[in-house]
Amino acid sequence: MKLIPGAVVTGGTSLAYKTGSWRDQKPIIDRELCKSCGICEEVCPDDSVKAQMGIYSIDYEYCKGCGLCAYECPAGAIQMIAEQR
Partner 1 sequence: MTTVSLNNKESLFVSGHRACHGCGMALAVRHILQATGKDVIVVTPTGCLETFTSPYGFSPWRVPWIHHLFENGPAIATGIAAALKAQGRSEERVVTMGGDGSTFDIGFGALSGMLERGEDVLYICLDNGAYMNTGGQRSGATPFGASTTTHPAGKCSTGKPQSKKDLPAIIAAHGVCYVATASVAFLEDLRRKVRRAMEFRGPRYIQVDTPCPSGWGFSPELTLELGRLGVNCGLIPLFEMEEGKIVSVRKIKRKVPVADYLKAQGRFGHLFSNDAGMAEVPRLQESADNNIAKYALEATAAKGSSVG
Partner 2 sequence: MWPDVVIEGSEAVALAVKAARPEVISAYPISPQTHIVESLARMIANGDLSAEYVRVESEFSTASVLAGASAAGSRSYTASSSQGLLLMTEVIYASVGMRLPFVITGVNRAVSAPISIQIDHQDTISLRDSGIIQFYVESVQEAYDLHIAAFKFAEDPEILLPVMVCMDGWILTHSYERVSILEQQEVDKFLPPYRPLHFLNVKEPKSWGSYAEDDVLMEFKYSIHSAMLKAKAKIEEIFQELAEISGRDYGGLIEAYLTEDAETILVALGSVTGTIKDAIDQMRAGGKKVGLVKIRCYRPFPYEDILSAVRGAKAVAVVEANFSMGCEGAVSLDLKAKLCGDPNAPKVIDFIAGLGGRDVNIKSVCEIVQKTEEMLRAGIATTESCWVGLNQAILP
**Site residues (CB under 8 A) for partner 2?**
3, 5-12
To partner 2, the closest distance from the beta carbon of 46 in angstroms equals: 18
Cβ–Cβ under 8 Å, residues 57 and 50: yes
Interface with partner 1, residue 14, by CB under 8 A: yes
Interface with partner 1, residue 41, by CB under 8 A: yes
11 vs 8, 15, 36, 44, 46, CA distance in Å? 9, 10, 30, 20, 16
Interface with partner 1, residue 83, by CB under 8 A: no
Cβ atoms within 10 Å of 81's Cβ, excluding its own: 11
Q: Footprint of partner 1 on this chain (CB under 8 A)?
A: 7, 9-19, 22, 38, 41-48, 50-51, 59, 61-62, 64-68, 70-72, 80
